[in-house]
Structure 1
Amino acid sequence: MVDTVLYGITASNYVFALNAVTGKELWKNKSSEGFSGNVNRGVVYWEDGNDKRIIFAYGEWLTALDARTGKVIHTFGHNGRVSLKLGLGKAAEGKYVGSTTPGTVFEDIMIMPIRVGEGEGAAPGYIQAFHIKTGKLAWVFHTIPQPGEPGYETWPADAYKNDAIGGANNWAGMAIDRKRGIVFVPTGSMPLIFTEQNVTERTNMQTV
């Protein structure tokens, strides 16, 4: 709730604004109409002077609305929306990527949690930050590290190139230390890849 306006999202993924005093509907946006397979736990509010925005996700898309009117802001991304696959690379092509949890705002960027598949071959769950005004990608943190990045040596060689390895995503939300500019990101594990070696190891563990 901001001032006297309550913002929310319906079970049908329609974003709305209500007068919090009277309950009167101020606007409802149906840009997500036609997509029913999405669970959404809320929206993000951001403002800079007279620029007031609501950012929400459905499916693989992040959409920006004018918080005063509920209309799509077409200068954000491409005609008002940007794909959550933008910073995931070719490894995410044709794979499930979405978001059910609002992003975390720091200044004029929003750091997005995403959901990916939970089995072998899932999309990589990299952490992405988007510029709220433009929708452009601000940065990407590779949770499956690439050469020269922290933790690369703790993974199988060139794991980031393996199309069967994905996950390691944040879906539940994040916490941020605004004073120090640090975001704390819990992640899930990568899906287990069943090789001949680890199937044998699992079988031995079950028979001990």
Structure 2
Amino acid sequence: MQKISIIIIILLCLAPVVKGQQGDSTKDEYIFTKVELGLYLLLNSPKFSHGHPIDFGFSPSGSRFRVGVSCFGRYYLLKRFYAELQLAYSPEGGGYKSIRQTNVNYINSNFLIGYAAFERQRLRFDIHLGYSLGRLINAKTSDELFVSDENVSAWFNSWQSGLLIGSGIKVKVDKLHLINLNIGLSSTLGSVIKTEPIVYQVVVPSFSLGVSRKF
């Protein structure tokens, strides 16, 4: 009886060690990641849409791109689902190359809900849907024919809200670090101009390239 008791005690002592080793072996898998923090470099193609929240009636050759930056934190729920919060400097506006443009700059808070639709040990494909709330920083018109810009911040609403949709790929560099590439589109839920009720801000496409670290 004493021998059986000693064996049981030894097994109980070894159980946490075995469990810890199993935990270490799965820590590198995406599916066991809980928290992820990182930075994005943004490449936006912004346009004003008159009368439609999403309007693809723009010539791709006339589009322009503006560069922004974002930091983000992601928390994984139920293994494949995640919630992500982003704080971004988002340069937007309207106009085409070689003609008069409007540069409108926002600080955006974006909240995303996503799902890992495809997953391997070093590769993950995500899809996401989100909500954005933006605070206007400034707005200026620019023209290649004019030396100075005109401040038109008074034309725009101080706040804007919108919907986001997109997909992304994550590649694991090592045990802790990832490279992220995303593509998406967004549209405001209401007009961004005070005097015009049907002028939406549309960003399509929107690219982001970033690095992140798992915790």
Aligning the two structures, in what range does the TM-score lie when normalised by the shorter sequence? under 0.3
TM-score (norm 1): 0.24
Q: Which has the higher contact order (CA 8 A, sep 6+)?
A: 2
Structure with the higher fraction of residues in strand conformation: 2
Q: TM-score, normalised by structure 2?
A: 0.24
